[in-house]
Amino acid sequence: MEEKEGENGVVAMAAFYQGFDPAAYLQNNYSPQQADLERKDSLDPWTLACLHRAFTEGDVSGEMLVDIGSGPTLYQVMSGCEVFNKVLLTDFLEVNRQELRSWLQDEAGCSLDWTPFLQHVCKLEGRPPSAWTEKAARLRQVIMDIVHVDVHASASGLDVLPAAGADCLMSSYCLEGASPDLAAFTRALGNIGRLLRPVATSCSSELWE
C-alpha cells in the first residue's frame, strides 16, 4: 500500500513539473536582481564556493562528470569543467534541456546571461574576471550532450555513457525536488548510483543547500 502511494506521489510530481517555466525560474533566482554574487552571506556565492572547493580540494577526478537533474542552470558545472574532459548534462524536462542547448549553441534566445557567474568562478580560481570567455569556451567544449533522465526509473541508464559508467555524479536540488518522500528519494539515489563507474576511484557528490 505504501509503495503504491509512493508511486502515485512520483507520478503527481512529474505531472506538476510539466508546467515548469525555465525562463521565469532563472529570472526569479539567478538574474542580477536576485543573485547578489558580491555578498558573502548570499546563497549563490556560497554555493559556487562550495562547488569550487569540492572540485579543487577533494579527491575528485576522472574523464566524465554527469550532472543529474541540471534543470535550466549551468553554475553547478563551472568548476567541474576544469577537472573533467567530458560533462554530461541531464534533465527530466525538455524545456530545460532546450534552455541548456540554447546556451551551448550560443543562441540569442537564452533566458539568462551567465557571465556574472562565470566571472565569479574565475575569481575563485585566482583568475581575472575577464577570463570568463575562456571558461565559457571550455564549458562548451567539454559538454558532450544534454539528455533526458528520470531518477525514478529503475533502469535509468544513459545510452551516451560508456559501458563502465561515469567517473563522478553530482546533483543539486534534483533528488529532493523530485521526490515526494524519503523512500522515493532513497530509491532515486540508488537508481542514479548505478550510473557510476564501480571502481575505488569513483566518486559521488550530492550538494545539499
The pLDDT-based confidence of 183 (bands split at 50, 70, 90) is very high
pLDDT in tens, 1-14: 445 555 778 888 78
E strand or H helix at 89: strand 86-91
The 8-class DSSP code of residue 31 comes to S
Q: Which one is predicted more confidently, 202 or 31? A: 31
Please state the domain extents for the chain: 2-207
Instruction: Kindly state the cell numbers that stand for 112.
Output: 539568462
Can you give the pLDDT at residue 200?
53
How high does pLDDT run on average in the chain?
A: 87
Q: Does 196 score more than 80 pLDDT?
A: yes
Q: State pTM to two decimals.
A: 0.87
Contact call for residues 129 and 122 (beta carbons, < 8 A): yes
Q: What is the separation of C-alpha 25 from the centre of its chain, rounded to a whole number of angstroms?
A: 15
Q: In what order do the strands lie in the sheet with 86-91?
A: 143-148, 86-91, 64-68, 168-172, 203-207
User: Region 77-106: what's the mean pLDDT?
Assistant: 95
* Domain over 2-207 is classified CATH 3.40.50.150: yes
Q: Which residue has the cell 546533483?
A: 171
18 pLDDT more than 50: yes
- pLDDT tens for 104-154 read 998 777 899 999 999 999 999 999 999 999 999 999 999 999 999 999 987
55 alpha-carbon distance from chain centroid? 14
For residues 7 and 13, give the distance between their C-alpha atoms in angstroms, rounded to a whole number: 10
Q: What confidence tier does 157 reach under pLDDT thresholds 50, 70, 90?
A: low
